[in-house]
Structure 1
Amino acid sequence: MTGRTEQVRFRSPGMAWDLAGVLHLPADFDEDGSYPAIVSVHPIGSCKEQTAGNVYAKALAEAGHVVLVFDASFQGESGGQPRLVEDPAQRVEDIRVAIDHLVTLPYVDADRIGGIGVCGGGGYVISATMTDRRIKAVTSITGVNFGRLSRESFSQYAPIAVLEQMAAQRTTEARGEDARVDDFLPESVEAGKKAGVDDIDMLEATDYYKTDRGRTPGGATSATFSRRAAAVGWDAFFDAELLLTRPLLVVIGDKPGGFGAYRDGQEIYGRAASEDKRLLVLPDTSHYDLYDQPEPTGKAIEAAAEFFGTHL
């Protein structure tokens, strides 16, 4: 059975803009009922209509949960200026704001809230779980620590040099010049290969985001360069040995790629203080297979539904 969806907009007191979200509701939804709820967090450069929404939120709602997926601040249909900012601290705060909205809904059981995230969203929801005790269980799907990625391959392993460039660009923009916006991906798989790109994650990301396979208006795959400095100094897994005590499910594929989900999944599983934690490594599976390919996403969804069914 397929549940229904509702478009929502919400903000926390003191916040200057709305977040735009979609509530995925169970097929047998009853407004007088009481349901466990899950916040679903989209990848870097993605949006609520892509994998975090149309795959994972949809399936977990079908499993009986109320699931809220939303566009990050400065992205998609959410507010915030300047546009296309990827700020990890704000992304984590967005998750808290989404929970603020969930706990106001009369049919949500505030003691049964979980979090799930895909790619960079997996790192963000893990970070949020460490400091927001309202999240009772967390699942990372091919999760990536965007801080680590920003310091390494996204800066060509020269983070100080890139920070100098970002600082100079921000000064230029403060003096009235246009913002520099960079696309994370080539225009097409063919263009990427022609330019010498051979990394499985870059090529499969391009196939997902730049074709009808996954392309949607809100999935910009780009970011304002001068505002990416915050990510270079951030770490999704900081203090996980002390603070990440909630039940944890990590799902990764066994095909490593340049975005590092295989490495990051192994790391957070080992470091987490959680007494109840599980690492699911899917064979012959890549990072982007876990975005939308039926067999691997089916296995990930089955594991997540069982996990949340147990812990929520």
Structure 2
Amino acid sequence: MSNIKHVTYRNLGWDSTADIYLPADFDETRRYPAIVSTHPIGSCKEQTSGNVYAAGLARAGFVAIAFDASFQGGSGGQPRFIEDPAIRVSDIRFAIDYLLTLPYVDPGRIGAIGVCGGGAYTVHAAMTDHRIKALVSITGVNFGRLIREGFSAFNPVGALQAMASQRTAEAQGAARQVIDYLPPSVAEARQSGVADIDVLEATDYYKSPRGQTPNGATSGLFSFNGAAMAWDAFLHAEVLLTQPLMVVIGDKPGGFGAYRDGWEIYGRAASTDKQMVVAEGWSHYDLYDRPEPVALAMARVVPFFQEHL
């Protein structure tokens, strides 16, 4: 078992909330390797980044911190539900800053892990923050590519025009348009003709007792999504991503694109030590919480971090 400590620390102009997962035999007089765990888009720290991966890393002897993104979950920032990749990456840096104030964290042994959109944010953060000594992307998705493609119905310019109109209206007093990235239920998704495995399994995770939590809102502020449109999680990876890298994906691809993104960053990264882990027979959302594929992933992730941190 791991111990959980609830903390708050200062971000840019607001506070971030986070859970620190500590090893069961935690001794505050020791110094531990520490890992920042970043949640998916529309998710929160209580879901897969915290209760699965941070908890698993703590059981393996690491200190792990799972935080809520700015404007989301229990963290501050207004307006709510902004999904801005630059700020999401900045959140990871602030989590590292906080870890480095803790006397039981070894500043030379900081790692990072992220799930889905959080996996790609972790990749980008590692490129520009070399305090991260090793990183793992769990079924990582490049949100910039996704919003240019599926999330804009493959019409990014049309989507940008709609976002511009909505933001103008909001600036002039209209209500904020908060969209839900997912259908209300799997049954309603199927009734409306949805067949994509990622949409159906995401809905099963986020909209049912399996993964649903109060702060896992699966929501986004539509007018601010333009910030992601010209962003690429993997830009400059060929030059700047030099740390040891592990990429974990399932081999059942879906519309959110983790399979293709995983192979892309594996190929592009300048890291001389990079490993690809393919969970055969499992999907993107299986890797969120299903015991067997998570165990498969952790059997590789834990030794990876033990070697490099």
TM-score between both structures, scaled by the size of structure 1? 0.99
Q: Where does residue 9 of structure 1 map in the other structure? A: 8
Question: RMSD of the TM alignment (CA)?
Answer: 0.5
The reply on whether 1:307 has 2:304 as its aligned counterpart is yes
Q: Deviations over 1:177-231 (max 9, x none)?
A: 1000110000100100111100000000000000000000010001010010001
The reply on whether 1:176 has 2:173 as its aligned counterpart is yes
Alpha-carbon separation, structure 2, partners of 1:5 and 1:248: 27
Alpha-carbon separation, structure 2, partners of 1:287 and 1:194: 22
Q: Where does residue 263 of structure 1 map in the other structure? A: 260
Alpha-carbon separation, structure 2, partners of 1:296 and 1:94: 28
Local SS of the residue matching 1:265: helix
Local SS of the residue matching 1:259: coil
Alpha-carbon separation, structure 2, partners of 1:180 and 1:90: 20
Q: Deviations over 1:136-181 (max 9, x none)?
A: 0000000000000010111111100100000000000000010001
Q: Where does residue 274 of structure 1 map in the other structure? A: 271
Unpaired runs of at least 5, structure 2:
none
Query: Number of residue pairs matched?
Result: 309
Alpha-carbon separation, structure 2, partners of 1:253 and 1:201: 12
Q: Where does residue 75 of structure 1 map in the other structure? A: 72
Deviation (angstroms), 1:3: 1.5
Local SS of the residue matching 1:283: strand
Local SS of the residue matching 2:77: coil
The reply on whether 1:233 has 2:230 as its aligned counterpart is yes
Deviation (angstroms), 1:16: 1.2
Alpha-carbon separation, structure 2, partners of 1:263 and 1:66: 31
Unpaired runs of at least 5, structure 1:
none
Deviation (angstroms), 1:101: 0.1
Q: How does 1:110-189 map to 2 (within 5 A)?
A: 110-189=107-186
Alpha-carbon separation, structure 2, partners of 1:207 and 1:221: 12
Q: Deviations over 1:112-137 (max 9, x none)?
A: 00000000000000000000010000
Residue type of the alignment partner of 1:56: Y
Residue type of the alignment partner of 1:85: I
Q: Deviations over 1:1-54 (max 9, x none)?
A: x12010000114xx2100000000001100100000000000000000000000
Alpha-carbon separation, structure 2, partners of 1:285 and 1:78: 32
Deviation (angstroms), 1:283: 0.6
Q: Deviations over 1:47-76 (max 9, x none)?
A: 000000000000000101000100000000
Local SS of the residue matching 2:214: coil
Indicate the percent of aligned positions where both proteins have the same amino acid: 63
TM-score between both structures, scaled by the size of structure 2? 0.99
Alpha-carbon separation, structure 1, partners of 2:297 and 2:8: 29
Residue type of the alignment partner of 2:5: E
Alpha-carbon separation, structure 1, partners of 2:300 and 2:42: 26
Alpha-carbon separation, structure 2, partners of 1:280 and 1:38: 19
Q: Deviations over 1:234-285 (max 9, x none)?
A: 1000000000000000000000000000000000000000000000111111
Local SS of the residue matching 1:291: helix
Q: Where does residue 204 of structure 1 map in the other structure? A: 201
Alpha-carbon separation, structure 1, partners of 2:140 and 2:218: 17
Alpha-carbon separation, structure 2, partners of 1:294 and 1:3: 17
The reply on whether 1:39 has 2:41 as its aligned counterpart is no
Alpha-carbon separation, structure 2, partners of 1:94 and 1:229: 19
Alpha-carbon separation, structure 1, partners of 2:114 and 2:98: 18
The reply on whether 1:242 has 2:234 as its aligned counterpart is no
Local SS of the residue matching 2:205: helix
Residue type of the alignment partner of 2:3: R
Residue type of the alignment partner of 2:88: R
Q: Where does residue 289 of structure 2 map in the other structure? A: 292
Residue type of the alignment partner of 2:219: S
Local SS of the residue matching 1:144: coil
Moved segments of 4+, more than 6 Å:
none
Residue type of the alignment partner of 1:175: Q
